């Protein structure tokens, strides 16, 4: 395992990708957003991820987003999102390396019914594209059994970390037990699942809340690492659960609500790109009221 990945502890920050009203990239707003995040002790920043609308970006836009993030990250490691299919995923990996990224977060391939061999070849192709360490994002149809994770780690030498997005903590614990220290283990299904992740021993979690309330994300990670589940419970009930309740009202709100929250807090984020949709008026009103409570943790 690389020293970089081994050293990731606490919480990963996730920048949004700001757009102008005409849906073009707003790189100036991105630079300001990254500088705000970089003022906090995140173990790494991950641009062009799920919150960063990876699948709405062109390869050239991904490279530009990663380059701006690296330039304004104040030395915090940057891991870039990649995915789609073997050829495009490898291209995005090379672009990320050129832009200065220190690692990659590999999303599932576009095809939801790939056989195991095809799935493994997909990750091998991206792994061969650069020497950057990979974190595999296991979400949706990229689901693995413990023996599959072991076999994949043998076939992809640059695979160093596992970001769980399934939310099945029972299975993740079994995978961690089976593979041991071959990989670093990270929680990645949402801030609301952080207590369960830290209970089974992950070393860090990925936070979408980091984009709007970095201090809150850091507080969640610190409580989790010291296994202070009473403190975690208080943070969940006051801040996290109400936000995730709004996010669950419509598909795509996991991105749209976070960008709208930034706007409500006076920061430029812009709209989401279709097929994502903006918040409906009633949901926006509820989010506005919640952001008044979030002033406590800004």
- pLDDT tens sequence for the chain (298 residues): 889 999 999 999 999 999 999 999 999 999 999 999 999 999 999 999 999 999 999 999 999 999 999 999 999 999 999 999 999 999 999 999 999 999 999 999 999 999 999 999 999 999 999 999 999 999 999 999 999 999 999 999 999 999 999 999 999 999 999 999 999 999 999 999 999 999 999 999 999 999 999 999 999 999 999 999 999 999 999 999 999 999 999 999 999 999 999 999 999 999 999 999 999 999 999 999 999 999 999 9
Euclidean distance between the first and the last CA atom of the chain, given in angstroms as a whole number:
35
Spatial CA neighbour of 35 closest among 6, 91, 74, 86: 74
Please give the pLDDT value at position 277: 98
In sequence order, the 6+-apart residues with CB closer than 8 A to the CB of 185 are: 161, 162, 164, 172, 176, 201, 202, 203
Q: Are 196 and 2 in contact (CB under 8 A)?
A: no
What distance in Å separates the CA atoms of residue 199 and residue 213, rounded to the nearest whole number?
A: 23
Q: Are 149 and 120 in contact (CB under 8 A)?
A: no
Whole-structure pTM value? 0.97
Rg (CA), the chain: 18
Domains delineated in the chain: 3-227 (3.20.20.70)
């Amino acid at each position: 395992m690389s020293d970089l990945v081994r050293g990731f502890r606490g919480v990963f920050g996730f920048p949004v990708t700001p757009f102008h009203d005409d849906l073009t990239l707003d790189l100036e707003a991105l630079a300001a957003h990254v500088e705000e995040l970089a003022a906090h002790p995140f173990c790494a920043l991950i641009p062009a991820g799920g919150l960063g609308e990876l699948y709405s970006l062109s390869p050239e836009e991904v490279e530009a987003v990663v380059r701006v993030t690296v330039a304004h990250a104040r030395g915090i490691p940057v891991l870039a999102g990649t995915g789609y299919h073997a050829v495009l995923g490898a291209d995005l990996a090379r672009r990320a390396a050129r832009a200065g990224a220190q690692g990659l977060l590999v999303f599932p391939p576009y095809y939801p019914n790939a056989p195991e061999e095809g799935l493994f070849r997909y990750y091998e192709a991206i792994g061969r594209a650069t020497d950057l360490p990979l974190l595999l994002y296991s979400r949706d149809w990229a689901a693995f059994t413990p023996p599959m994770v072991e076999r994949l780690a043998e076939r992809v030498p640059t695979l160093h970390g596992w970001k769980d997005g399934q939310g099945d903590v029972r299975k993740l614990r079994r995978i961690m037990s089976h593979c041991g220290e071959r990989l670093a283990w990270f929680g990645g299904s949402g801030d609301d699942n952080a207590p369960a992740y830290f209970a089974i021993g992950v070393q860090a979690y990925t936070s979408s809340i980091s984009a709007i309330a970095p201090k809150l994300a850091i507080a969640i990670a610190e409580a989790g690492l010291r296994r202070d589940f009473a403190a975690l419970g208080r943070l969940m009930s006051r801040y996290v659960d109400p936000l995730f309740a709004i996010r669950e009202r419509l598909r795509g709100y996991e991105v749209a609500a976070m960008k709208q929250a930034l706007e409500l807090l006076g920061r430029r984020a812009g709209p989401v790109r279709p097929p994502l949709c903006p918040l409906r008026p009633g949901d926006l009103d509820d989010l506005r009221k919640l952001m008044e409570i979030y002033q406590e943790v800004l």
